[in-house]
Each structure stands twice: as C-alpha cells, then as structure tokens.
A and B are shown apart, each in its own frame.
Chain A
C-alpha cells in the first residue's frame, strides 16, 4: 500500500516532482563536477606549476650545511660533490612516479676570452632506460620551460655546443653560430637564452663538457628535481622538523603520502651524502594555490548545495501545503506523524535519487568540459565522489524537507478536514 501510494503520488504530482528532480540535477551535477575537478586538480595544478621549475634541490650535505649556516653558495664554497651515477636513482624511490623531471647541475667558473664567467654543466636532455624497464626522458629543458631561446636547445650529446645567457651574450657580443673558446676548449653557440634571472649571465653546456673543464669527472654539485607533491599539513610539518619524532603509524602515513618532505626523505635514502630540500617558495606556492583552488571548489559545492536545499525546501513545502487535506486525512485515519513524514520523505528521496543519478552523469560531463577547457586534458573520475554526492544528496534533500516536515508535524486534521 505504501509503495502504491508513493507511486501514484509521484505520477499525479509529476510536474512538481520533475521540478524537484531538476533542482537536484543542477545541484548534484555542479557538486559532482566540482568534486571531481577538486580531486583531480591536484596533479593538474601541480603539473601547471611545474613550468616554474624544480621544487626540490639535492646537494652534498656539506655544501648544504655551508649554505644553511653561512648562506654561501656556488663554486669554491666546498669541494664536496654528488656522484653523477646516483642521479638516476631518484626514480627508484617509493614516490618515483611523482618525480616528473630532474637534471644534475655542475656549476663552476671558467675563462671566456680572458674573463672569468660562470658555466653550468647539465643534462640538457636525457634519455635512458631504467632497471625497471621504464623509459626516461628528462633534462634541464623540461625544467626551464619558460626560457626564451634564440637558436636551439642543446641536445643530449651536444658536447661541442653551448648556450649563453642573453646578458652575457650581449656583453661579449656573441651570436648564435659563433665559435667561442672556454678554457681552451672550442664550442659553438647553439642558442642564446633569456631566463629572466641570474642564469642570464652564465654559459650552459653538457655535463661531460663542464666536468672536463672543471676537472670534476663524474661529479655534480646539485640536482634539480620537479616532483608532484601533496600540500603540507601538520603531520608533514612535524615530519619536516624531524621524521624520528613521528609514531610508527604517523611515519607510515607520512612516508606513503607525497608530501614534499617525504619525497625529500626518500631521495636522501638513495643519494649518497645527499641532502634534499624543498625549494620552499615553489613548494609553498603550489600548496597555497592548490589549497585555494580546492577551497574555491568546496565553496562552490557548498553554495550549490545550499541553493538546492532552499529550492527543494520551497518546492516540497508548496507540495505539502497543497496536499494538506490529503495528509490531514491520513492523520485522521490513524497515521502517526512519523508515518506521514516517512511517506513524504520517501517520495522526495525517490525523486532526489532519480535527479541525483542524472545529475551525477551530467556532472561528470561538466568535469570533462572543465578539464578540457582549463587544463587541456580529461579529469579522472573519482569513485569516492559517488559516495560524497550520495551523502550530500541525502543531507540536502533532508534539510530541504525540514520546513515541510515541521508543517506536517503541526498539521491538525480538524483544521484541514473542516476546510478552515
């Protein structure tokens, strides 16, 4: 009988129920889209921010100490270097897949036409096959995406070529294609780059060339790493101070989450004598932007849910007032308040679920439109959104029904049955 009454009510009140379902569709589709984007946006925003370079640097622990204590950087501060052979080990850590790009740096000073200049040796590009069989394509080119290059980038084995910062090039009147001599080694200028920073006064060359000029075979001074990270929370900040202060459970949680401090910790486990440190400015900016983006999505979800609840509330209350005589009759026939409330809630919930299913799939569509428009790629569908949306749908429908429920509870059969 209960189902028969619900079915017939739904059919009889189809225009109102369609309005309620439509409201739910709008709310759920927006919530689904925002939450899918929110959950998928972390990696996407991180990837977008990777154009601003590395967010982790690795250097020898003694060099890091000098830098930390005295603020001293560059060649001559100490004679401790990392091993080039260790660089590829970065991809072997637990969060190896989150390490998007990296490049070793060997910085030093050399003679150019009688004056001393800074040179940087690096992997302009690096192609390798890892022991796991994974193909690796990385290098400084991927970490300096903002560089404006006149000419061309150095290639992987371009040991006879160099790139020159545009300030140094104009100062020395060097052009693309010119031959220059650095510490008696002959090089051809392949490109002139504009970094917008300190590197504009430096010369970039392959790592073997720099190691040869600086007489540091197999050595690198720094490794720049670009990794996808999760914004820091209290646990990450506590771990960053001292991982040993964590309980075993906290340590496991921290270690298995892509916090920048956890990735740094894991890098130190594979790079001999290396100290990995987040480039705080970049890492924190990423976290801040990500947190603000997430907050925006959450706010939109909350506001759309409130909007839906208000609209549902109006529609349900109007429907219940219209049916007050019928519902009052049920009370007169012996229905308890809770039975009437259950009847109305069941009708609304069924309508809500129907609207929710349609809204969910529409929301997935909206998420993909947002993904394509904003990030140029599809948003991965998070299954947990179904559960969250179901909870939101339930709460929104329930909260939206509160005024109607209060009206029902106060409804006196004597008033509606005598037509007052």
Chain B
C-alpha cells in the first residue's frame, strides 16, 4: 500500500534535493537573523517570500521546527496576507491595482494587455514561469493610476502601449530598473536609494509640508522641559489623530505615560490602505526625518525607548531609503542612546513591513501583525495604551500626526490652534484623486468646504465626492457646502471625485463593496458575511432584476454590521448606505417597478449545461 503521507523527498531528482538543502540553509540564516523569535514571523516570511518567490510546505515545516510552533500556526499568518504565496508567482510578479480610481483611469485596457502579452490570465503565471499576474487593492498611487507593482517596483500611469513594452523587455531579459523609461520622480524619489518613477504631486504646502524644516530643532527644545510639559503642550494644541479615527493625541499620550510598565512602545502607523489615500507615502518620501523626530518626541513624552515604524508592503521600495535615514538619525544622535546629550533619554526605531492587509491599519490589528500574527483586531478593552505590543503600553500614531507634533513643539500649541476651526485645530494633508485637473497632495486648514476643495483642484461637472475613502461618505451636490472637520465631514485623507459620466452604483459602490469583502479579516460573523450578501443584492439590481424590497433589505441588513468588532466591519456598508441615502434616484432607475418580488432565478442559465449536454433546445414558459 502506498504511504498516505509520502516523505517530502520521494520521487525527487538529486538536483532537486541539493536545491532543497540550500533552500533550507537560507531559511535557517533568515531565522537566525531574527533570533528564532516567533514574534518576528512577519519578517521571517517576508524575507523568505522575497528570496524564493513563494513559501512552500517544506519551508513552513522548517520554520515550524525551528520556532517550535505548529505548521498551522505559521500557515494562519502566511495565508492571511495578500503578498504571501504558497505557490510560484512568476519570476516577475505583477500586482495591478484594482481600485475604483485605477478603473476610472483605464485599468481595464491595461489589464487585458497584460494578459495578452504575458499569455496568462490574472491569478495565473505564464507557462514559462516568467510572469505572474495578480490584482491588488489600492497601492497608494491614486494620483498616477493605473499603477502596478512588479517585484516591488512601482510602475505608474500605465497604458496598453507601455505594458507591451514592459512585457517585451522582461521577456528580453532586461532588469526592472532598466525598463523605466519615463524618468525618475520628483524630490527624493529620484535618489539612488529610492530610484522610483513615483511622483509626489505636492500641490499645496502648509506648515507640515513647508520648506525649511530643520531636523533636531524640536528635540533640542523638549530636552529643556519635562515629559509632562510636552504632553500638556500637545493637549493644548487640541490635535486629534490624523489617520481617520480622530482620537485626541494628547489624551492618548497621557494615558500611556500614566500606565505603569518597565517598557513602552511608540508605533507609527504608515499602513495607509484606505483607497484614495497616498499622503503618508509623500510624507515618508519627503519628510522622514520629521517623522522620526516626532516618534522620538513621543518616546520622550510617554517614556518609551523603542519605536516601530509599521509601513505597508506596497511602500517597500522606500525601505533602503528609510533605513538610511534612521541610520543618519543615529549618527546625529537624534536616535540611539542619550539623545541630544540628554542622560537617560534613549530611543531607537525599527521598521516593520506589512504584507498586504487593509485591516492592519486598525491599531490593534497592526500590533498583532507586528507580533507576527494574523491582522485580526483585538477586543477592547484593554486598549493599546494600556496593553499593546507584547502586552506593553503602546501608542499608535499616524505619520501625519507625528509630523504635526514636531511643528507644534517648534511653534507652540497656540500657533497651531490659530489654524483650522475650534473643534478641529490645525491643518490636514489630504490626497485628492479622480475626476479633476490637479490630483495630488494638498495641505489645507480644517474648515474648507467641499466646494472650496473642488475649485482648488480644478474639478467641474462633479456628480459626487467620496470623502474619507470607502469607509467614509459619498455625497452629492446638495452637500458640497459641508466642511471638512471632525464635527462635519471627517477624513483620514482620502477625497475622490466622480464626474457626471460615472455610474456610481456599478463603478463606485460595487468596487468599494468588493474591497471590503476582500479585506475583511473574517473573524466576526457579521463582517464576514453581510458584505457578501449585500454584493449579491447590488449585482441583482445591476442585472436589472432588482425590486424595491432589495433596496430596503440592503438598508436593514447593513444594520447588522453594527455588531462588528472593528471599524472595518462597522463601516463596510457605508458605500451602500450613503449612496442609497444621497443618490436614491440612481437605484430607483435600475430596479423593476410594479413588481414586488423577483427570485433572481435564471431558468435559461440553470438548464444550459444539461441542454448543451443532451443537445436539447430549452422550452421555457414565461409567466
């Protein structure tokens, strides 16, 4: 009888066995690099994936043995993240963004050209193993779409013509950086350690994005005052979290400072995954020193010695650059031991990359991920400020928040409060994309109206504006007088504009709903299922089979999501709910009137296979 569990070396050629041995050696080196620490599983898997292009069972078994955790415990992390694979993904792995903006900018033609030229469909690898084609959620390039990552290198403004060239060159054996013919991007993008064609597109500068920033100035200033005074200044500034949730930063710092612990952590959340957001990418590119300084200030204020900069995998092309900046900070003594000569003030930063999961932008999921686990949000309480990374008090702040703190320290809380509105002080860096003349990054004071913004970016013929990304609100003309602020239209930075030619339900709402389905962690019964069933309703309506009741069902079913654990589940129906509220006539136009019920059953389609098999012409009586 054949062994049901064959030894993995069965039926292998000698050459393959030798290859497997060297592969195992490489994995052992990687494990050594991370001290055989299971909480560094993300890094171990990221390095393994980039070394071999995929992570096969043999490697999982080796990691399992060395870390003394079970295979399934490794696979649960491995299978959670989009950019890990257990199967070969091609010598060149293309991840083409499928966000709503990519589609608006011509993704469909680009995708079809990729398939034709590579000779395989999306989700497959070409027969020669050279090219793998995959779709991915927003990669933070909404102002230069359609865009794709090829082995981590960003290709922007793709056209069918460029895709033909790229595939031809890859087949011809050219290296990735040789095939960027457009020239390099502006600012730091052109530095050899980034060497990218990505553009910053900074359109409007405010105090955060202003020129003339002097690294270390704020750090030297706080050396003269007590940590409590730093927190008091931050509280006085009234700044709230810039990642979207809007929690008062000073309060967060104070709770963390007061939490008793021998060790504390400062996390910077650079996992911007909300479709249409790309402002943190620009800050990371142009103002990383300011960000590091903000993290060190946070460390000083709450008494943390370690910082972790969690960067989304899509921005891995910035790795060498960011590491160099950190190294430079150490040399200048802005990081490391006894910072700025202050005895006992130690603070250092490491970078943690994600591996493709929107939900990791939620602070507790981000911490889980940094601990090498699935990015499932935690139950709260306890909150990260009390028990976060490795169960230690942890602050998680957005990139822009930490940069704003540096300016608050430099110029004072009252200066900061002189900008914006009473409840929403200061400025906001926003990412604008979609149907407008000047998409890009703008730093504006809180309190601008949507109309102001539309004029600023050169948008006309506007049908709708998505404020705050898919988890935000879709508004129409009658609400363009509303203002951007925490008390009216809150946004973590994403503003997407749709003109009157767009089909909001098909192009926007369906795309956003698919996004939430793809990105749900799956832990809550509600979030795992309701969006899937809402999509079925949307598709029914788009197929002209919808009735009035389907719209009502969507509104009712969406309420069930309010029992979900985290922000993703709580907002997953926002595209549907806010579009029904603000664009009801679009739905009414697509449904059947004078009909109370439609089963959505397609008899012709149902019997097609059997009719084809027996060569019968279906004879269906319609009622």
A binds B: no
Q: Which positions in A face B, CB cutoff 8 Å?
A: none
Q: Which positions in B face A, CB cutoff 8 Å?
A: none
